[in-house]
Amino acid sequence: MPEGSSSYDCAVVGAGPGGYVAAIRAAQLGMRTAVIESDRVGGRCLNYACIPAKAVLRSADLLSEVRDAGEFGLRVADVQVDYPAIQERRAKVVSTLTSGVAGLFRKNGIELIEGEATLAPRAGTGAGAVAGGATGADTDTGGGATGAGAAIALRVGEREISAAKVVLATGSVKMAIPGVEFSARVIGTEEAWALPEVPARMAVVGAGASGAEIASAFARLGSEVMLFEMLDRVLPTEDGDISRLVKRGLERQGIQIHTATPVRDVQVDEQGCAFVHGERDEPARVDYLVIAAGRTPDVDALGLAAAGVELDERRMVRVDGALRTSRDGVYAIGDLVAGPALAHKASDEGIIAVEDAAGLPTHPLSLVDIPRATFCTPNVGSFGLTEEQARQQGHDVVVGKVPYGAVGGGTVYGDRSGLVKVVGDTRYGELLGAHIVGSRATELIQELVNIRALEGGFPELARIVHGHPTLSEAVMEAGRAADGWLIHG
C-alpha cells in the first residue's frame, strides 16, 4: 500500500496490544489497514507499563534467587544491584519487542500514521444505536461486510483520512487520588518503572496488581517501601485466601503494609514528599509517592460526543458483544470498554472487532473467565469467581485447596508455601474459578482457563495425568480435593 493513502478499509487508533493485533488481523482478512499512533508503536503496555514492569521484576526475582542460593548448597558472595544495568536491559527488552511490532506492520502491509486522531463530527450528531443496541449483550453477533455504510472521517494533524471501519484502541491514562497532583515526586506506575535510581524510601498508593508489583520489585532492590490500600486487604479483587498469602509474602520482603488507610495532606518539594496517613494522621516522608490507584480511558482527543459515540456512567465507551459502539462502523476495545484493563483482553477484543467488521461470525468474550496475572513475589494467577462471589451468586460451592508443599515439585524447587484453590459447583462439577499464589502461578493458571473454555470441570481436571515432579501436580490435586478424593493431603 503506498504511504499517504487517504482511504482505508480499516483504521485503528492506537498501536498497543489491542490496536496492533486488530490491525494485523484486519490485514490478514484483506482490509487495507492503517494504524494511527500519537506516541510509540507498542503503546503504553510495551513501552511504559506491562513489559518494562516485568523486565525490572525479572531482575528482582533473580536477585531473590541468588540471595536464597545458600539453601541449595550454593555460596554467592557480595551480590550487588547494578540498577543502571537493570534499566539498560529494560530499555533493550522494550526496543526488541516494539521493533518486532513495527516489523509485523511492514510484513502485513499496514501503514503507520504518526499523530493524534480525532473522529470527524457526524452530521446531525445523536445517540444512534447499532444492531445489538451497544449494550454488551452476551449474544452471538454477525457483522456487516467491509465497506458497508458511509465512510468515517478522521483528522490526524493536518491530514484527513477516511475508513469504512474504525477501531478505537487508545487505552487508558493514569489517574491521581483526590487532592493530589502528579509532579516530579508524585508519579504514576509508568514513571516508577523508569526511575533513574533506586529510591531510599518509596510509598505506593494502591495495593492492586500494579501497586503490589512495584512494591515487591523496589523492596527487593533496596528501597524502604510503604504500601497503602483504601480497602481492607492487598489485591482486594482476588480471593481472600490468596490475598492473605500475598500479604504475608510482601511483609517478608520488608514492605510496610497499611490497609483501610487513606493518604492525605501530600506536600511536595524538590527532594521528595511528605504526607500523613491513617486515623491518627501519622506523618511520613518519602523520595517518591507512586499512585497506583486506578486508570481512566484515554478518550479526550477522540471527539466522541460530536462523532455520536456514547459513553457510559464510568466514561467507558458503550459497546455490544462485538465491540460495536453507538456509531455505525466504529468499534472500541481494551481499556476504553468495560471489563478488566488487561493487554490480553484488549488483543482478543481487537480480533473480535475486525472479524465482525469483515462480516465474520463472532462470539463475545466471557469477561469473568479472562485470566488475571500479578507478577509480584509471590506470583498470583486467577480466573473466574472467587469463593465469596460463588456463594453470593447462589452456587452449591465446593472448594479444593492444595499447598505447593503437598506435591514433590514444591519441595524440590523450594516453594512449599504456594497454594492452588479451585472453586466449583457440585451439581455438574462445573469449574467456576481458580486461584493460585506462588512460583509460576501466572503460567499454571492457563491450564485451568483452558479446561473451563473446553467445558471441562474439576472432575476432569482430577483425572488428567500431570508430569512428576512438577508444580502442576498441585493443580491436579486441587481438582481431586474438590472431587472428594485428594491423594496427597
* Largest Cα span, the chain: 75
In the chain, the amino acid numbered 274 is: A
Question: Identical fold at 7-48+91-172+296-367 and 186-293?
Answer: yes
Report strand pairing: 141-142 vs 159-168.
unpaired
pLDDT at residue 127 is higher than 70: no
Name the nearest CA neighbour of 92 among 142, 39, 52, 50.
52
- Residue 319 and residue 134: Cα distance in Å, rounded? 4
- Residue 399 and residue 425: Cα distance in Å, rounded? 9
- Residue 432 and residue 388: Cα distance in Å, rounded? 12
With cut-offs at 50, 70 and 90, classify the pLDDT of residue 4.
low
Alpha-carbon dihedral of residues 211, 213, 215, 217, nearest 10 degrees? -160
What residues have CB less than 8 Å from 74, skipping those under 6 apart?
Answer: none
Q: Are the CB atoms for 164 and 10 separated by under 8 Å?
A: yes
C-alpha cell at 270: 524538590
- Residue 435 and residue 423: Cα distance in Å, rounded? 8
Residue 238 sits at the vertex; the CA angle it makes with 407 and 334, to the nearest 5 degrees, is 115
Q: Are the CB atoms for 42 and 18 separated by under 8 Å?
A: no
Q: Which residues are catalytic?
A: 468
Q: What CATH number was assigned to the domain covering residues 378-483?
A: 3.30.390.30
In the chain, the amino acid numbered 338 is: A
With cut-offs at 50, 70 and 90, classify the pLDDT of residue 149.
low
**Choice between 203 and 127, residue whose per-residue pLDDT is larger:** 203
pLDDT at residue 36 is higher than 70: yes
Q: What is the pTM of this model?
A: 0.93
In the chain, the amino acid numbered 404 is: Y
> What is the Cα 75 distance to its own chain's centre?
37
Report strand pairing: 380-384 vs 397-403.
unpaired
Name the nearest CA neighbour of 343 among 140, 48, 92, 113.
48
For position 29, what pLDDT does the model report?
Answer: 98
pLDDT at residue 125 is higher than 70: no
C-alpha cell at 195: 526511575
Helix (H) or strand (E) holding 50: helix 50-67
CATH number for 186-293: choose from 3.40.50.1370, 2.60.40.10, 3.30.420.40, 3.50.50.60: 3.50.50.60
pLDDT at residue 261 is higher than 80: yes
Alpha-carbon dihedral of residues 361, 366, 369, 374, nearest 10 degrees? 100
pLDDT digits (tens, 9 = 90+) for 331-368: 999 999 999 999 999 999 999 999 999 999 999 999 99
Average pLDDT in the 290-299 region? 96
Average pLDDT in the 242-267 region? 97
With cut-offs at 50, 70 and 90, classify the pLDDT of residue 150.
confident
pLDDT at residue 131 is higher than 80: no
> What is the Cα 288 distance to its own chain's centre?
24
Average pLDDT in the 403-407 region? 98
Q: Are the CB atoms for 370 and 334 separated by under 8 Å?
A: no
CA atoms in the 13 A half-sphere facing the CB of 458: 31
With cut-offs at 50, 70 and 90, classify the pLDDT of residue 122.
confident
For position 5, what pLDDT does the model report?
Answer: 60
- Residue 282 and residue 228: Cα distance in Å, rounded? 13
- Residue 246 and residue 376: Cα distance in Å, rounded? 9
What residues have CB less than 8 Å from 340, skipping those under 6 apart?
Answer: 367, 370, 372
Task: Please give the C-alpha separations between residue 334 and each of 37, 131, 329, in angstroms, as whole numbers.
Answer: 15, 21, 17
Please state, for a pLDDT cut of 70, what percent of the chain lies above it: 94
CATH architecture, domain defined by 7-48+91-172+296-367? 3-Layer(bba) Sandwich (3.50)
Q: Where are the domains of the chain?
A: 7-48+91-172+296-367, 186-293, 378-483
For position 489, what pLDDT does the model report?
Answer: 87
Residue with cell 501530600: 266
Which residues on adjacent β-strands are paired with residue 256?
Answer: 226
Question: How many C-beta atoms lie closer than 10 Å to residue 1's C-beta?
Answer: 12
Average pLDDT in the 458-472 region? 98
Report strand pairing: 372-374 vs 380-384.
antiparallel
> What is the Cα 304 distance to its own chain's centre?
25
In the chain, the amino acid numbered 13 is: V
